[in-house]
């Protein structure tokens, strides 16, 4: 079974969670691969290469489209005069998923980020058309309740199964952080996990984070 790793926003840690999930699955003998349909801000930002570095394997990740400006894919593509053909991108993503036991498809920004212009499609459309469940990555601190609940609501409105929510960079330093896991679980009616991402400076740090992942990897291997 494949999965989409989606975020409540940009910069919440989707790539780190994707890398940790892929390295955990591969360590257990599953042919897992990160799939980045559209990478912007390239080559300074290269999520696929980050996963490859963590896994120490070039086959651990693939990117399908790249654009130089750090913008929404549809906007970056339009400005580069290289528009994304949505149906072709969808088929390419499906093809990448078919070439591995577990495809971990990483979104770009949040669900409503524009992915293509003609036709107008967003990240949530891609997840829906791929017919895969989603893991939501969100911030841990103050303000995450609204963003996370709206993201889960948007997924379910499209009949996308939500595997759970990963509250990233959790430190428990504030009352908001300490109470958010229980509140998100109540609001979203799904499993909630806290992940500490305070010292992820090396690939080994990400591998250690992978060891703290919940039993989600077992579901994806079924």
Residue ranges for the binding site?
11-16, 40, 47, 106-109, 168-169, 204
Q: Which residues contact 148 (CB under 8 A, 6 or more apart)?
A: 8, 136, 138, 165, 184, 187, 188
Find the catalytic residue in 36, 52, 63, 121. 36
SS3 content of the chain, % helix, strand, coil (to 5): 45, 20, 40
Query: Is 208 one of the catalytic residues?
Result: no
Query: Which residues are known binding-site members for ATP?
Result: 11-16, 47, 106-109, 168-169, 204
CA angle 18, 110, 113 (to 5 degrees): 120
Do residues 83 and 89 lie in contact, with contact meaning Cβ atoms separated by under 8 Å? no
Annotation: binding site for Mg(2+): 15, 47, 106
Point out the annotated binding site for substrate. 40
> What Å distances lie between residue 107 and 6, 34, 123, 181, 221, CA to CA?
5, 11, 6, 23, 21
Among all residues, which ones are annotated catalytic? 36
């Amino acid at each position: 079974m494949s999965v989409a790793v989606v975020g409540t926003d940009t910069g919440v840690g989707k790539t780190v969670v994707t890398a940790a999930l892929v390295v955990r699955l591969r360590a257990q003998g599953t042919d897992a691969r990160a799939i980045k349909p559209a990478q912007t801000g390239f080559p300074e930002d290269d999520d696929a290469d980050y996963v490859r570095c963590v896994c120490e394997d070039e086959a651990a990740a693939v990117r399908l489209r790249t654009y130089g400006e750090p913008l929404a894919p549809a906007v970056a593509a339009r400005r580069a005069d290289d528009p994304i053909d949505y149906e072709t991108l969808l088929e390419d993503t499906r093809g990448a998923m078919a070439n591995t036991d577990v495809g971990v498809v990483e979104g770009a920004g949040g669900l409503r980020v524009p992915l293509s212009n003609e036709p107008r499609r967003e990240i949530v459309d891609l997840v829906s058309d791929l017919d895969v469940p989603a893991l939501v990555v969100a911030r841990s601190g103050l303000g995450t309740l609204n963003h996370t609940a709206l993201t889960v609501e948007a997924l379910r409105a499209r009949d996308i199964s939500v595997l759970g929510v990963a509250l990233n960079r959790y430190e428990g330093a504030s009352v908001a952080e300490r109470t958010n896991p229980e509140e998100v679980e109540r609001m979203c009616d799904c499993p909630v996990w806290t992940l500490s991402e305070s010292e992820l400076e090396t690939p080994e740090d990400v591998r250690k984070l992978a060891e703290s992942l919940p039993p989600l990897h077992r579901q994806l291997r079924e």
